[in-house]
């Protein structure tokens, strides 16, 4: 499972080389053996996976090809409503039934007869970038066999589930980096879509303005297949889109390397990214430096709570007031400040970000995308961020580079390029303006042809080999 892509499995199912039932059994075996250590899932149902796989096989045998993910297992973050599964959103108490209703993202996979065997752990209400959860425990980053390192958040179990081998695609959400951070620190590919391109109906919100559904995968091709299966603007069959995007010539692309993203990186992070940039440049990618001083304004707004804090406080107080008392202490300690944001400050932040985004877009005009490290720090151990001060410092650094895409209204993708001095995965972020997902996927595939897929570049995590 770990060395076979979703794209290949989709082809194997159609050629009769394998069956959905066989894929499901392999996923169940991996989960049963590894999840007691990795703890990727909040809920897992083997029998459901078997039933859905059998139906997918029956449909294929009868000539009904309903989508590229027919019969393939997909993990879903426990913010999404999924029929037959409870939604906790990382809280200690099950949410009302209305939050278990499926929205368009899950429905798109359902129509294609994807198998959904379980829901992965999330930071409570998705409000955090490290992946910790005091209520249900923190999934273990599989790249450190000696210490329990954080898996990145808030889609904490998503990347872990991919390396566990219990799924071939993972659904996450990204409000300030919650797809790209776990993808980066667990050595996966993660795509953050443009806000409003994919509906957030059926997803417990953190920020209705900034929330974006996204996908994590073990290759850019798999991420592209997932994107095409879900995207309402894409008419092509997912496998056809993957084939079309794989033909990009790296020498036709222009990348701006922004030094801002390299500030205060942990040992080995900047070096791994720069090594990859040199390889890509040697293979034909046009690379030059790009200065984006406006990013200081963006991060300044983010550090005051940005847009998310006020919207999250409004959501909890309006929709789920009874859940306020049991909030994670790392969230609750900031809640009073969230509630105290005046409307004038909230609106002025929206206006300022709109103006900053226009300036950044103008500077980016000569380039197809901007490059930099996805996460500037080594994922810390759970023990190291047990205290409030240490948590807040690490959380802010984890989110620093990724939050810019959300606040500017851009899309972005991360793919692994190496390991840092601690032996943990390092991701490179490609960020582009709104509605440029296809370009980023094509660029990512072109880059992957040079630097290799995650397995080729990094090998297998020691806890998953």
Instruction: Note the pLDDT of residue 339.
Output: 83
Q: Which of 42, 77, 192, 419 is flagged as catalytic? A: 77
Catalytic residue at 178?
Answer: yes
Instruction: Note the pLDDT of residue 341.
Output: 86
Instruction: Note the pLDDT of residue 193.
Output: 98
Q: Are 123 and 90 in contact (CB under 8 A)?
A: yes
Q: How does pLDDT run across 157-180, given as a tens digit for each residue?
A: 999 999 999 999 999 999 999 999
At which residue do the structure tokens 């509630």 appear? Answer: 339
At residue 111, φ and ψ (nearest 5 deg) are -60, -30
Please tell me the least confidently modeled range out of 111-115, 119-123, 193-197, 241-245: 241-245
Instruction: Note the pLDDT of residue 90.
Output: 98
Catalytic residue at 192?
Answer: no
Q: How does pLDDT run across 6-40, given as a tens digit for each residue?
A: 999 999 999 999 999 999 999 999 999 999 999 99
Q: How does pLDDT run across 218-229, given as a tens digit for each residue?
A: 999 999 999 999
pLDDT band at 80 (very low <50, low <70, confident <90, very high): very high
Instruction: Note the pLDDT of residue 330.
Output: 80
Whole-number Cα distances in Å, 465 to 142, 161, 294, 364, 461: 10, 14, 43, 41, 6
Please compute, for residue 455, the number of CA atoms within 13 A of its CA located in the half-sphere on the CB side.
Answer: 13
The pair of three-digit structure tokens given for residue 184, joined into one six-digit string: 């980066």
Q: How does pLDDT run across 309-345, given as a tens digit for each residue?
A: 999 999 999 999 999 999 988 878 777 778 888 999 9
Instruction: Note the pLDDT of residue 236.
Output: 87
What is the rounded average pLDDT of the residues 120-142? Answer: 97
Instruction: Note the pLDDT of residue 465.
Output: 83
Q: Considering the entire predicted model, what is its pTM?
A: 0.97
Instruction: Note the pLDDT of residue 63.
Output: 96
The pair of three-digit structure tokens given for residue 244, joined into one six-digit string: 């079309």
Whole-number Cα distances in Å, 145 to 37, 369, 465: 10, 35, 11
* Domains defined for the chain, CATH in brackets: 6-458 (3.90.1300.10)
What percent of the chain clears pLDDT 90, i.e. is strictly above it?
94
pLDDT band at 281 (very low <50, low <70, confident <90, very high): very high
Q: Are 114 and 67 in contact (CB under 8 A)?
A: yes
| Mean per-residue pLDDT of the chain | 96
| Residue 232 CB coordination number (10 Å) | 11
Catalytic residue at 42?
Answer: no
What is the rounded average pLDDT of the residues 205-209? Answer: 97
Q: Which of 178, 184, 207, 219 is flagged as catalytic? A: 178
Rg (CA), the chain: 20
Please compute, for residue 72, the number of CA atoms within 13 A of its CA located in the half-sphere on the CB side.
Answer: 32
The pair of three-digit structure tokens given for residue 28, joined into one six-digit string: 């169940």
Angle at 146 between CA 144 and CA 147, to 5 degrees: 75
Q: Which of 5, 39, 75, 154 is flagged as catalytic? A: 154
Q: How does pLDDT run across 337-368, given as a tens digit for each residue?
A: 788 889 999 999 999 999 999 999 999 999 99
Which tops the pLDDT comparison, 260 or 235? 260
| Residue 48 CB coordination number (10 Å) | 17
Q: Are 301 and 359 in contact (CB under 8 A)?
A: no
Q: Are 458 and 425 in contact (CB under 8 A)?
A: yes
Instruction: Note the pLDDT of residue 1.
Output: 63
């Amino acid at each position: 499972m770990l060395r076979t892509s979703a794209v290949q499995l989709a082809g194997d199912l159609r050629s009769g080389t394998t069956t959905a039932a066989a894929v499901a059994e392999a996923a169940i075996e991996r989960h049963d053996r590894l999840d007691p250590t990795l703890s990727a899932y909040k809920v897992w149902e083997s029998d459901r996976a078997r039933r859905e796989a059998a139906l997918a096989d029956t449909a294929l045998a009868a000539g009904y090809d309903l989508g590229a993910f027919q019969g393939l297992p997909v993990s879903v973050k426990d913010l999404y409503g999924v029929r037959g599964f409870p939604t906790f959103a990382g809280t200690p108490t099950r949410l009302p039934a209305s939050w278990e209703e499926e929205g368009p993202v899950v429905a798109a996979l359902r129509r294609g007869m994807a198998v959904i065997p379980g829901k992965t752990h999330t930071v409570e209400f998705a409000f955090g970038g490290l992946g910790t959860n005091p209520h249900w425990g923190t999934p273990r980053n599989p790249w450190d066999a000696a210490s329990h390192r954080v898996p990145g958040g808030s889609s904490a179990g998503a990347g872990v589930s991919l390396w566990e081998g219990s799924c071939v695609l993972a659904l996450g959400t990204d409000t300030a980096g919650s797809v790209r951070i776990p993808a980066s620190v667990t050595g996966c590919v993660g795509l953050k879509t443009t806000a409003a391109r994919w509906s957030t109906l059926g997803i417990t919100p953190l920020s209705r303005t900034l929330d974006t559904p996204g996908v994590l995968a073990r290759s850019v091709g798999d991420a592209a297949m997932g994107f095409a299966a879900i995207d309402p603007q894409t008419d092509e069959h997912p496998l056809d889109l993957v084939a079309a995007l794989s033909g990009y010539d790296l020498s036709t692309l222009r990348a701006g390397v922004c030094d801002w993203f390299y500030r205060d990186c942990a040992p080995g992070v900047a070096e791994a990214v720069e090594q990859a940039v040199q390889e890509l440049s040697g293979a034909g990618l046009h690379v030059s430096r790009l200065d984006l001083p406006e990013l200081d304004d963006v991060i300044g707004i983010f550090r005051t709570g940005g847009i998310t804090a006020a919207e999250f406080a409004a959501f909890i107080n309006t929709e789920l007031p009874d859940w306020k008392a049991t909030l994670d202490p790392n969230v609750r300690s900031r809640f009073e400040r969230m509630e105290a944001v005046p409307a004038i400050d909230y609106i002025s932040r929206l206006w300022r970000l709109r103006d900053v985004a226009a300036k950044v877009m103008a500077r980016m005009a000569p380039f197809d995308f901007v490059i930099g490290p996805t996460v500037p720090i080594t994922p810390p151990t759970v023990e190291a961020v047990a205290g409030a001060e240490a948590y807040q410092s690490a959380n802010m650094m984890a989110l620093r580079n990724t939050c810019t895409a959300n606040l500017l209204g851009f899309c972005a993708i991360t793919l692994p390029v190496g390991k840092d001095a601690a032996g943990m995965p390092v991701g490179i972020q490609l960020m582009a303006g709104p509605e440029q997902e296809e370009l980023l996927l094509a660029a990512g595939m072109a880059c992957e042809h040079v630097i290799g897929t995650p397995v080729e570049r990094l090998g297998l995590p020691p806890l998953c080999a």
